[in-house]
Amino acid sequence: MNSLARNISCSIRSSIPTNCLQHQQWRGIRVKVLRGGLERALTVLQRKMQSSGIERLIKREQVHHIKNSEKRVLARKTLERKIQSKDLARKLKAILIKKVRGL
């Protein structure tokens, strides 16, 4: 009976496209708790969350309402940041081009 079930499961698995299964991503963060070491597992989880950026996303998520005036201020600040970033990138590019050309 077991061999029959194994053959059926193998035939079902072979009919599923393997590229679909290979491209499936893991979701979330997994941490193993070994021998009741819950505190250690929590510190490892926190370290993984910080390194992957999930913690920043959670903190950035808005819980309360933002007034329109605050939205305008935030939009202006982000626009200024983008402009400064592009300006800096342009200046650095010019410097690198001069260095490469030997001027």
Q: What is the pLDDT of residues 31-43, one digit of tens each?
A: 888 888 999 999 9
Alpha carbon separation from 9 to 18, 24, 67 (Å, rounded): 15, 20, 57
User: Model-level pTM?
Assistant: 0.41
Q: What's the rounded mean pLDDT across residues 45-71?
A: 84
The ranges assigned to domains in the chain are 64-103
Would you state the pLDDT for residue 24?
A: 54
- Above 50 in pLDDT, residue 27? yes
